[in-house]
Amino acid sequence: MRGIFISIALMLAASAAQAGTAYPVHGNWCGPKHAGGPVRDPLDAACRRHDLCTYSTRNYDCGCDLLFMDELRRRSWPSQALYEKARAVYEAIALVPCVGTAEQKATKRAWLRNDTAGAVARGREAPGAAFARVLRLLGTGLANAYDVPE
% of the chain with per-residue pLDDT over 90: 56
Instruction: Give the pLDDT of residue 4.
Output: 59
What is the C-alpha to C-alpha distance for residues 12 and 65, in angstroms, rounded to an integer?
Answer: 20
Quick check: is 133 in a domain?
Answer: yes
Lowest mean pLDDT among 22-26, 47-51, 70-74, 99-103: 22-26
Quick check: is 100 in a domain?
Answer: yes
Quick check: is 16 in a domain?
Answer: yes
Identify the domain containing residue 137 by its residue range. Answer: 2-145
What is the C-alpha to C-alpha distance for residues 43 and 126, in angstroms, rounded to an integer?
Answer: 23
What is the C-alpha to C-alpha distance for residues 8 and 133, in angstroms, rounded to an integer?
Answer: 15
Quick check: is 36 in a domain?
Answer: yes
53-69 residue pLDDT tens: 998 987 789 999 999 99
**Number of domains the chain contains:** 1
Quick check: is 87 in a domain?
Answer: yes
Three-state DSSP class for residue 146: coil
Has residue 27 got a pLDDT over 90?
yes
> What residue type is assigned to position 146 of the chain?
Y
Quick check: is 150 in a domain?
Answer: no
92-130 residue pLDDT tens: 999 888 999 999 999 999 999 999 999 999 998 898 888
3-state helix, strand, coil split of the chain in percent (to 5) is 65, 5, 30
Quick check: is 79 in a domain?
Answer: yes
